[in-house]
Amino acid sequence: MYVKNVKTPLLIIHSLEDYRCWFDQAVQLYTALKYMGKEVRMVVFPGENHDLSRFGKPNHRVVRLRSIVDWFSEKLRR
C-alpha cells in the first residue's frame, strides 16, 4: 500500500526458514519495489532462520555482514 512512498534504497536480507517473518512477504515487498522502479536488492539465505545474525552458519554470517557493508559503501559514495 505504501511502496510508492519509499524513497530510501532498501536492502532486504531474508532467511528461507524464518517463520517469524514470512519469505513470501519479503518477495512481495521486493517485487512491488522493483515494479515501482525503486532501488532494492534482496539477499536470501537457504537453511537459515530468524537467528541468522547470531547463530547462523559462519559462512552465511560473513556473507550477510559483507552484503551490509557493501550496500552502505555503495550508497555512501554518492
The domain in which residue 18 lies consists of 7-76
Total domains present in the chain: 1
pTM passes above 0.85: yes
Whether residue 45 is contained in a domain is answered as yes
Whether residue 1 is contained in a domain is answered as no
pLDDT tens by residue, 23-78: 999 999 999 999 999 999 999 999 999 999 999 999 999 999 999 999 999 999 86
Residue 1 has pLDDT above 90, yes or no: no
The count of other CB atoms within 10 Å of the CB of residue 76 is 7
> Any residues with CB less than 8 A from the CB of 67 and at least 6 apart, and which?
11, 13, 43
Whether residue 2 is contained in a domain is answered as no
